Structure 1
Amino acid sequence: MDIESRIERAHTWHVAGRSRAALDSLRQLVRDVPQSTRARLALAELYRDLGHAEQAGRWSALTPEWATDRERRAFAVFLQQWSVDPYRVLLLPRYEKLPRLPQPPRRPSVNRRLASSIDTQHAAMVGPEWVRQPALGLWVAGWAVVSMAFVVLVVMMLTAWAIASRDAAESALARDVGLAITSVGVLVGAALLLPSELLARNWPQVCTLIFISVGSGFAFVALGLPALFSGA
């Protein structure tokens, strides 16, 4: 079977919902004909369609003008994070000349680091795009909620410390409110993070989130914090 026929077969599988089989087929095609730019771009295009920017940048490395800035950046971050043999990553024989690989900035900005984290999380997730995109949005929202919860805790604890000498009751109330908001925030944040980690099949992280959720709920009840919301 020639290259075009194998690419067409993989495309048919992808359209039919058999994306994993299509990826396996195209990866094998690249192994069989590593010099074929057509085979590499077909694999890169499939990864692009699935939302894997890192892999799209990887398999289009022989023709970098084909890739988007986001894909080249995601692949550069992959090369930076993992000490890997570029010949092995690109499935190139040793006698082939390596292409010019993308280089990440030495000191990425906060925005670039955040974009890199989101790209990495998205690349690790499995499933159709209409499921992965909302899960990724929840993942970002989850970290935002957790961060804000701890900011509130620090502010309320500082407030409690500042007024402790004047009004012990108000100080205790400020502390309890801070603990209540933080525990609820952590619980909500963990729930928002969970779908993305499940799709990424990151089981240690899933177990950690479940443990944190149970611990936050237990602490919330054990400290008598529900009374703050019931008005008791």
Structure 2
Amino acid sequence: MYRRNGSSELAKLMFKNSGDDEKLRQLLTDTYSEADLTTYLHSDDPLLGRAAGFALRLIGTSEVIPALVDALKNNDRGTRYNAEYALWEIWSQSGDDSVDAMLVDGKNLLKNEAYQQAVECFTTVIETNPNFAEGYNQRAIAYFMLEEWSKAIRDCKQTITLNPHHFGAFAGMGHVYVRLGKIEEAIEAYKQALIINPNLISIAEAVLQLHRQLEKK
């Protein structure tokens, strides 16, 4: 049975167990339901919203994605930040520990600039779970770094097909269109990213810059 604790209880629980994600994850699971946390996420109390967003990063599932997407437009910046962080965490969970481990391996290859190896790793992720959107998104990043533009676009589009909320894939597609000199397509992709997540300041700035380029033509 879940206890509907208020902001002070949630904040205390998280503060006392900060630094131990596994313990905190178990305590949150034992104490709060996802319904509790999504309700708190939209609280008028910004501290409660922030705490709920952080908690959902640890224990949230795909069921809370719509609430987290809504929270990207919250009045409180901290709540928006934690909601975005939670979305990335949830999007990186396939439901299969072995697939998730491969995704982490691929991300590490990206960090080490081993882009072709990263492509191969993410391809294995996709072959193992063809419905895992983040596998395509991460492979799109690897293809982008290899300047394989058409493949990057293809994977961005597949990411969006599987996860229409994926502002990262829209932004990534915009980056590719910029490299291809397709300014109008880039602006449209960037705008779609901003519709979902208005907090992407660099993307908003890129849209303004691209509009200036069009005006000069």
TM-score, structure 1 as length reference: 0.37
Question: Max radius of gyration: which structure?
Answer: 1
Of structures 1 and 2, the one scoring higher in RCO (CA 8 A, sep 6+) is: 1
